[in-house]
């Protein structure tokens, strides 16, 4: 009976060990960009026609690879 319980315990431990990916693998950090935009929208108040208005958006790359911005569109 003790051998059977020990076998079941060992089998459960091995199953958990293999499912977590801890066996024979290294933890490699992926070299990817990660965009962070604290303010993705901005609503302008009333504006007189013909007035030029601007707003600067902050775009940060919090990843480890260069961030390429290929397309920007307005609302």
Please state the rounded mean pLDDT for residues 24-52: 85
* Cα-Cα-Cα-Cα dihedral sign, residues 56, 61, 65, 69: negative
Distance CA 74, CA 46 (A): 18
**pLDDT reported for residue 22:** 53
Q: Per-residue pLDDT for 8 more than 80? A: no
48-74 tens-digit pLDDT: 999 999 999 999 999 999 999 999 887
Confidence of residue 5 (pLDDT cuts 50, 70, 90): low
Distance CA 62, CA 18 (A): 31
C-beta separation of 35 from 67 below 8 A: yes
**pLDDT reported for residue 3:** 65
Structure pTM? Answer: 0.49
């Amino acid at each position: 009976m003790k051998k059977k319980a020990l076998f079941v315990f060992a089998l459960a431990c091995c199953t958990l060990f293999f499912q977590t990916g801890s066996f024979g693998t290294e933890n490699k950090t992926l070299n990817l960009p990660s965009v962070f935009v604290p303010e993705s929208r901005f609503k302008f108040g009333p504006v007189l026609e013909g007035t030029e208005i601007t707003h600067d958006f902050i775009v940060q790359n919090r990843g480890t690879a260069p961030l390429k911005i290929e397309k920007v569109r307005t609302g």
